[in-house]
Chains A and B, each alone.
Chain A
């Protein structure tokens, strides 16, 4: 069964450093998403991406964040200058078409980012 994969599973970085989180969405999916979940808190939407453009983003997704689809398979989230409060689990998701509930978002297993 096709699945979304994410690397690394755990990333430790120092405050102020740049990190890139990587995702390989399901191959025939066209819409891609990043979410984050701070420990003990809700899953929060960051950004959605379609046709090489951001289609929707939340207030959390400020100038320190960027997304890219550098090739035909990877989808990345870059955090330019990490802060302690960026420590969270970051989930990538993809969907076949424009998200309505009937087009399910498939989530990856997440990357745990720890900023020290």
Chain B
């Protein structure tokens, strides 16, 4: 079983839609859960992180972690064409390491 699973998409939505991006994982020792955004020809950029279970909100973005289900989500409200990118989930904290283990990324396309 792969450590972090993420549907690669692409996910295509109209501008203004609520977007839901998800990952599942198998390693219950992960403690930190992150979302990165990667634009074409750029490196990943940390968008949000959450420690343990719960929700975190930052503007139009909300990250949710359900450790009991080993499931994390990123919601984007009022999506904009500029949100079009690949969104990578990542996790760390297993065995004392903060090095992120990434998912494959979901390609999001927000069309006007």
Residues of A near any B CB (own CB < 8 A)? 4, 33, 40-45, 48, 56, 91, 93, 98-101, 104-105, 107-110
Residues of B near any A CB (own CB < 8 A)? 4, 8, 32, 34, 41-46, 49, 51, 88, 90, 92, 97-105
Q: CB distance B98 to A99 under 8 Å? A: yes
Q: CB distance B41 to A109 under 8 Å? A: yes
Total cross-chain contacts (CB, 8 A)? 50
> For residue B41, which residues in chain A have a CB less than 8 angstroms away from its CB?
109-110
> For residue A104, which residues in chain B have a CB less than 8 angstroms away from its CB?
46
Closest 7 CB pairs of A and B: A107-B43, A99-B98, A43-B102, A101-B49, A101-B32, A42-B102, A104-B46
Determine the distance from Cα of A44 to Cα of B88 in the docked complex, in whole angstroms. Answer: 12
Q: CB distance B99 to A109 under 8 Å? A: no
Determine the distance from Cα of A18 to Cα of B99 in the docked complex, in whole angstroms. Answer: 27
Q: CB distance A110 to B97 under 8 Å? A: no
